[in-house]
Amino acid sequence: MKREKKAKRIKRLSIVFCTLVYVFLFLPISVIVVNSFNATTTKPYMSWKGFTFDWYIKLWDNTSLLEALGNTMIIAIVSTVLATIIGTLGAIGMYRYKFKGKGLIDGLLYIPVVIPEIVLGISLLTIFAKVNIPRGMLTLILAHVTFCIPFVIFNVRARLAGYDNSIEEASMDLGANRIVTFFEVTLPVLAPGILGGALLAFTLSIDDVIISYFVYGQTKTYPLKVMESVKSGVSPDVNALSTLILVGTILFVVLTQGDLFKKKSS
């Protein structure tokens, strides 16, 4: 009886504690969502002036914001695709072949993961300035590809750790050449790691502020657009757009990972 009471108390305490953490995590998001329905029209758009859907309509007139969102999507998609291809090939090559300077590349890969983003940002800024690459879409994509590659590589490498080399030998033994073997065997077996890496790269790319902040030139991304408006007060149409994006991503996850939310999950 005593033990049961104690266990119950611990359980209740755990639930309260976790709930508080979740409240902490979701508080600013609920602020954003609620504020997107705020009827206020005076900066800094903080005090509550009643409920409205206006911002969801006005949003579509804010062309510079929509353009920034478009830029973000283009950069995220292009750099995810590039980083995924380069990273996957790199991970496989580094796993399989021995060559001089492997340790060096390995070391370089850890830099974007551990070093503060601002250092990466300014170092790219200085080198782009030095070789006169005009800052814009190209520099943004180069920067994003650079910091995404290591994350793809680490994900694929984790998958490679349990990888049995002999399945490739088996494929070649059965008459498939190297390229066919790569597409028939290597790629499908590594697919979960590659997808995980790509998803991480995409997430990092759309959320990046700091590195983009130093290399954007005239091409503003959505986070940079937000940064610009922070000083004067983020207008509720930005909140409205953020709310839409959030709802979109949650729907995407529920649809693709639907089994997560089913009652009988294995």
- Within 10 angstroms of residue 239's Cβ, the number of other Cβ atoms is 22
Tokens of 137: 């879409």
Tokens of 143: 């920067």
Near other proteins in 184-223, by CB under 8 A: 184-185, 188-189, 191, 196, 203, 206-207, 209-210, 213-214, 222-223
Task: Mark residues 62-81: x for contact with other proteins by CB under 8 A, - for none.
Answer: --------------------
User: Contact with other proteins (CB under 8 A): which of 75, 140, 149, 240?
Assistant: 149
Task: Mark residues 23-62: x for contact with other proteins by CB under 8 A, - for none.
Answer: -xxxxxx-xx--x--------xxxxx--------------
* Sequence-distant contacts of 94-100: CB under 8 A, at least 24 apart: 94/153, 94/157, 95/157, 95/160, 95/163, 96/165
Q: Applying CB under 8 A, does 18 fall inside the site for other proteins?
A: yes
**Shortest separation between residue 67's beta carbon and other proteins, angstroms:** 16
Question: Considering beta carbons, is residue 54 or 189 the nearer one to other proteins?
Answer: 189
What is the distance between the alpha carbons of residues 147 and 203, in angstroms, rounded to a whole number?
12
Alpha-helix residue ranges (DSSP H) falling in 97-116: 102-114
Q: Applying CB under 8 A, does 261 fall inside the site for other proteins?
A: yes
**Shortest separation between residue 63's beta carbon and other proteins, angstroms:** 19
Question: Do residues 158 and 193 lie in contact, with contact meaning Cβ atoms separated by under 8 Å?
Answer: yes
Task: Mark residues 97-136: x for contact with other proteins by CB under 8 A, - for none.
Answer: x-x-x---x--xxxxxxxxxxxxx-xxxxxx--x------
* Residue 133: partners with Cβ closer than 8 Å, 6 or more residues away: 139
Tokens of 226: 């937000």
Which of these segments, 56-64, 73-81, 226-234, binds other proteins (CB under 8 A)?
Answer: 226-234
User: Contact with other proteins (CB under 8 A): which of 84, 157, 194, 198?
Assistant: 157
Question: Considering beta carbons, is residue 63 or 177 the nearer one to other proteins?
Answer: 177
Distances (CA, A) of 228 to 36, 178, 221, 222, 231: 18, 50, 11, 10, 7
Q: Applying CB under 8 A, does 226 fall inside the site for other proteins?
A: yes
Question: Do residues 127 and 58 lie in contact, with contact meaning Cβ atoms separated by under 8 Å?
Answer: no
Question: Considering beta carbons, is residue 1 or 179 the nearer one to other proteins?
Answer: 179
**Shortest separation between residue 130's beta carbon and other proteins, angstroms:** 7
Question: Considering beta carbons, is residue 27 or 57 the nearer one to other proteins?
Answer: 27
Among 54, 67, 87, 104, smallest CA distance to 239 is for 54
Tokens of 93: 């090559």
Question: Considering beta carbons, is residue 54 or 146 the nearer one to other proteins?
Answer: 146
